[in-house]
Amino acid sequence: MTFRLSRRRFLTTATATGVGLVGNIAVPYLSRAADRPLIGHGVQSGDVGIDGGVVWSRADRPSQMLVEVSTTESFRNARALPPIAALPETDFTAKLLIDNLPSDQDIFYRVKFRDLSHSSVESEPVIGRFRTAPAGRRDVSFVWGGDVAGQGWGINPDDGGMFTFATMRKYKPDFLLHSGDTIYADGPIVSEVKLPGGKVWKNIVVEEKAKVAETLAEFRAAHKYNLLDDNVRAFNAEVPIFVQWDDHEISNNWSLSKDLPAAYKVRDIPLLAARGARAFHEMYPIRESIQEPGRIYRTIHYGPHLDVFMLDERSYRGPNGPNLQTEYGPDSYFIGPDQLAWLKRELLNSKATWKVIASDMPISLIVYDDAPNKRGSEAVAQGDGPARGRELEIADLLRFIKTSGIINTVWLTADVHYAAAHFYNPDKAQFQDFDPFWEFVSGPLHAGTFGPADLDNTFGPEVRFVKAPGADRQNLPPTEGMQFFGHVHIDGASGQMTVSLRDRADVLLWSTKLDPKMG
């Protein structure tokens, strides 16, 4: 029998087992005993499937992560898992795949750290939970978005911190699909930012975030900064994350052609990318690839109604040049031929009702590499006209989806820092060899708000909804309220998908219901 934990019971149990309450939010209780390891950044789970998921946490010293797992909140008959070392080499982080779990089951896990130098000394425990994916046709609910701590808008306790995470948590979603820009490694956080009207935005600050990230320690610190937020830690303890990355995990608009600004002393893009990638994999509960260590693209099967295809549109791209090629080649790579072949295979083999393509960048919104001068291509779109450059990959993929009879594909994305819904209509496109589909854009979760961007007509996008500040009001702070997330609900009985766009105050901005086609 599936056990559903009430909010009251979860908070009561959490307090009793090492989780405190801050503003009615469950956050880890940190023991201040000098001789005990501390868990200062909470717990996370991720990449949850039918029979398991990954659990993550971080200590403050060399230690062993000890995990117990149970199907009941009392931890009666809990299963103790093998200890995992948390060493300086991984910044004292550790993650563990918990498998052989029952499907569609609330899972409770309890994490402690044992000091490697003193085996009798252990930290206070921290409790988390997740629910495994269903084997049957139950309702599925998840949220998505991207862009966290960007443009200098960090954790401001006077504004409630990263408040969008508290709003999303109310939905008790099965998971968060994080569309990238999980950090802004290139974005320093200063103590105060002056706002119009004499107001002041006040950030929590840490030394490593006073400059752009160049060392491994600075990349790690950018991720740990977000985990200082009460809302984020409380959310992570209850909601699994399916995470991908984009440019700001390294530097703005990075590719091998990137000309770094003067703030960087390290000028080697591959070196920065390697350090940023290592920190990214250390700090998230992502299932690691055996075929290609460090690979981000992967398929997450979430029951008979949903497969999620997590893309990596950063690691395999060509340079951010004009990208006006008419023939496909290395300079026009966006996801690259190996990932493209993988995606085709996975889509073709999917038996799920809905195939969600998690793209860290929108298809038809024009994003310039050099925005002030409107030069170079950072995203897919190259401007109006036939498919060129990076659009050649998308054209090939869309044609394959049509000719292979693959149905019910939906694209979810973020990146542009506003909310939008795009319907792709081949009758209005320059390239027409594809079936109609939807792309939904959300974010920022906690960053500056921009937009709207110009639209490219190559694939016939129709704007069905947009919420953006307008050209005369860019980089709005979170205090303006224009922080956005998306919510998806799939009805277990009918398979109908409802997609909603909301702001951080939980105002419903726009919604649509999609009936699945029958194959």
The mean pLDDT value for 161-184 works out to: 98
Q: Which residue has the tokens 């079936």?
A: 435
pLDDT tens column, 186-198? 999 999 999 999 9
Q: Is the pLDDT of residue 12 over 50?
A: no
Phi, psi of 37 (to 5 degrees): -60, 150
CA–CA dist 367, 153 (Å, integer): 22
DSSP state of 454: P
Closest CA to 411 of 470, 449, 459, 366: 459
Q: How many CB atoms lie within 10 A of CB 266?
A: 14
CA distance 63 to 84: 8
This model's pTM is above 0.85? yes
Written as six digits, the tokens of 43 are 């717990």
pLDDT of residue 29: 41
Tell me the per-residue pLDDT of 260-292, one tens digit each, with 9 for 90 and over. 999 999 999 999 999 999 999 999 999 999 889
In the predicted structure, residue 185 carries a pLDDT above the cut 80 = yes
pLDDT, averaged across the chain: 93
Helix axes 391-403, 337-349, angle to 10 degrees: 20
Distance CA 140, CA 303 (A): 9
Chain segment 405-448, per-residue pLDDT in tens = 999 999 999 999 999 999 999 999 999 999 999 999 999 999 99
Residue 332 has pLDDT above 50, yes or no: yes
3-state secondary structure (DSSP) of residue 347: helix
Q: What are φ and ψ of residue 19, in 5° steps?
A: -125, 125
pLDDT tens readout for residues 205-232: 999 999 999 999 999 999 999 999 999 9
Q: Where are the alpha helices (DSSP H) in 381-464?
A: 391-403
H or E stretch at 202: strand 200-202
The answer to whether residue 127 scores a pLDDT higher than 50 is: yes
Angstrom distance (rounded) from CA 334 to CA 120 = 51
* 487 pLDDT more than 50: yes
Q: Which domains does the chain have, with CATH numbers?
A: 7-131 (2.60.40.380), 140-514 (3.60.21.70)
| Residue 33 scores a pLDDT above 90 | no
> At residue 8, does pLDDT exceed 50?
no
Q: What is the pLDDT at residue 20?
A: 43
The answer to whether the bond into 304 is cis (omega within 30° of 0) is: no
Residue 11 has pLDDT above 50, yes or no: no
State the virtual CA torsion across 148, 343, 376, 485 in degrees, nearest 10.
Answer: -30
Question: Where is average pLDDT lowest: 20-29, 39-48, 304-313, 476-485?
Answer: 20-29
Residue 112 has pLDDT above 90, yes or no: yes
Average confidence (pLDDT) over 123-136: 98
CA distances, 451 to each of 179, 321, 322, 470, 510 (Å): 18, 22, 22, 6, 17
Question: Alpha helix (H) ranges present in 160-229?
Answer: 163-169, 216-226
76, pLDDT greater than 60: yes
pLDDT at 376: 87
Cα radius of gyration rounded to whole Å, the chain: 22
Q: What is the pLDDT of residue 372?
A: 86
- Our measurement of the distance from residue 247's CA atom to the centroid of its chain's CA atoms, rounded to an integer in Å, reads 13
pLDDT of residue 34: 65
Cβ neighbors of 223 (< 8 A, separation 6 or more) are: 182, 183, 279, 280, 282, 283, 284
pLDDT exceeds 70 at position 14: no
Tens of pLDDT along 133-171? 999 999 999 999 999 999 999 999 999 999 999 999 999
pLDDT band at 361 (very low <50, low <70, confident <90, very high): very high
- Greatest alpha-carbon pair distance for the chain in Å reads 69
Residue 390: pLDDT over 70: yes
pLDDT attached to residue 317: 97
Confidence of residue 371 (pLDDT cuts 50, 70, 90): confident
Across the range 234-247, mean pLDDT stands at 98
pLDDT above 90 for 505: yes
